Chains A and B, each alone.
Chain A
Amino acid sequence: MIEVSELTRRYGRHTAVDQVSFHLDAGEVVGLLGPNGAGKTTIMRILAGFLPATSAARLEVCGHDVLRDSLKVRESIGYLPESVPLYRDMRVQEMLDFHGRLHRMGRSDRQRRSAEVLDRVGVSDRSRQLVGTLSRGLRQRVGLAVALLPEPPVLILDEPTSGLDPLQRREVRSLVRELSDEHTVLVSSHILAEVESMCSRVLVMAEGHLIADGTREQLEQQLGGSAGVRLEAYVGLDPEAAVELLKSLPGVTAVALGERLGIHHGFVIEGEGDLREDVGALAAQEGWALRELSSQKRSLEDVFAQLVSGNVADISAAKADAPATPVEPIDNGGLMQLMPDSGFNASAKAPPAKKMIYSLNPFDQGTSRELGAPMEIEDPTGNVKGDEPGDPS
């Protein structure tokens, strides 16, 4: 329903949207997630025909080109801007009537649909009220009713829950979920939990780049899959030496020395796969008195915060080192989509280093090879040459 390819929009020197590509299938509810200023509103305005794109390889809504066939596109879109612009001097019914006329709906059609959409958003009792006297929440709903009136196949909702109280937020969220039966919905938000509850798929934006694209599970698996291990143990008098030892373990990317608890020290070990066994073995070998050894899975919230704060190198390193990942890293149809200069590829530029690692792949569950046997990696970008039997390459 929506096809966007290499969309770029500049405001003067500032690039608000940089080479963004994605597509929405019919009936999908997709969330556009990102902090303020990430380019969400710009993308929506471009799709709605309010702003022209600086450049785009392909920009289509319902098969109509947004730039050339703007009116056709506007007919097939229900667009609700963040500010909910409605004429304050009109009554709710008049506003709906005006919108229906603009969409060339007949009188009976307008009356029927007005009653339907007002009922749907739950403001049937306010149809005679002036728009200017409505509260923020009610205005939001009327805006939604206006967008829904001509039964557009595509709905573009820019932060439909901003400025609402928690109860109203919940109502809008459930409304958007209901809409997925009849419409393709692109909805933006800067709150992850909200997008999660409304959308089947999430597009994550930061500083004009699309940095992730996938369902909640995919994102979690892709980005949050790299688990950390928390270790609390008595490691002798020199915790730094223990840190060095832990770092020398295969697959470990970072070790952070946490707080000291009596004679025990806390460590957080980051790396791919489940490192608990390796760390446990090391502790046994070194004779550390173990108090806690637990796996810490990063929540999607953490991943999102990390993604949008630009600190994406960790994730990219984890991704790049992971061999035989079932997902192609850079491919439009893939689950993950990484932009060229988002920092994801930073690790690809690093010289390939050979290292021996143990259980690398969090996804293969030990089916492709014996977990205990070490494996040699030649290229951190994912081209793996295994040396044990059973490896497909």
Chain B
Amino acid sequence: MRGTLVIYRRELAGLFLTPLGWLLLALALFANGLFLYLVLPYTGGDVGSSLRGALGGGTLFWALMVFLPPLLAMRMMAEESRSGTLEYLLTAPVSDSAVVVGKFLAATTFLALIWSVVPLYGLLFQLQGSPPDWGAVFATWLGAVLTSGLFVSLGLLAATSTNTPLLAAFLAFAACLGWILVPSFGGQLLNSLDAFVGTGDLGGLLVQTLRSSLQAMDVLRHFHFSWRMGVIDTAEVVFFCTWPCLFLFATVRMLEGRRWRV
């Protein structure tokens, strides 16, 4: 536990020691501000739903979501193994899981900081005399943070599988993008199959099962039907916590497996 904390502190500090961290923060500040500005007219000036819309409402948010975690994961894993410091870390008296969890928490904290830009704008609205519904904004922010955790863990898993930083970033990016796109495109594909299969026969049953499992995996759907509404649903909390746990477990295993491959 203590090892996790030490690694967490170092990783978080490391992000701010390089220009990358500040660059990403500036980028997020700009992107979130732009998006809030674009969204505001569509909500009829409703500050609360505009803020919630800026967090998860559109393509820009999800683009950042599939773009940032892979970058962070690349920095934390592939860079480390390329520069040889992984050998240092894996011979230090910390367990592999402490290393992985520490890095995961640091990356997620950094993203949480990035999403905090939106509540910051909320504060500005408050100062201007139109206070948003803080509970709902907080729920959406929490959802964004948990979703970031999911993508960071997926990115770490992908980045651990290779030594090449660029390949790691690409793999992590593909994994995150796939996690978003496959359920929605798969759902559409299954919808088009409906014309060919009956509702009662085996084919129909198969399509139905596939559709419901894809829906169960659909992050966008999970996000929009709970967090974005400003609802903290325990089922969603479980969903957004169990997947990272699984990916982190796989990452630890893969890190152990790497010892055999170096």
Contact = CB atoms under 8 A, between A and B. Distances in A.
B90 A49 contact: yes
A104 B94 CA distance: 10
B6 A98 contact: yes
B92 A74 contact: yes
Contacts of B91: 48-50, 74, 77, 79, 81
A366 B262 CA distance: 55
Interface residues of A, number: 25
Size bracket of the B interface: 20 to 34
A79 B86 CA distance: 13
Interface stretch (A82-90, A315-323, A377-385): A82-90
A85 B88 contact: yes
Contacts of B90: 49-50
A79 B93 CA distance: 11
Contacts of A74: 91-93
A49 B14 CA distance: 25
A89 B14 contact: yes
B88 to A, nearest CB: 4
Nearest to B94: A102
A81 B92 contact: no
Contact of A83 (B87, B92, B262): B87
Nearest to B90: A50
Contacts of A90: 14, 17
B234 interface: no
Contacts of B260: 51-52
A113 to B, nearest CB: 16
Given A49-B90, A75-B93, A85 B83 contact: yes
A90 B83 CA distance: 14
B95 A71 contact: yes
Contacts of A75: 93
Interface in A46-105: 48-52, 71, 74-75, 77, 79, 81, 83, 85-90, 98-99, 101-104
A81 B14 contact: no
A48 B3 CA distance: 18
A80 to B, nearest CB: 9
A10 B115 CA distance: 48
A165 B226 CA distance: 64
Given A81-B91, A85-B83, A85-B88, 20 more contacts: A48-B91, A49-B90, A49-B91, A50-B259, A51-B259, A51-B262, A74-B92, A81-B84, A83-B84, A83-B87, A85-B86, A87-B14, A87-B85, A88-B83, A89-B14, A89-B17, A90-B14, A99-B92, A101-B6, A102-B93
25 contacts: A48-B91, A52-B259, A71-B94, A74-B91, A75-B93, A77-B91, A79-B91, A81-B87, A81-B91, A83-B84, A83-B87, A85-B83, A85-B86, A85-B87, A85-B88, A86-B85, A86-B88, A88-B83, A89-B17, A90-B14, A90-B17, A102-B92, A102-B93, A103-B92, A104-B2
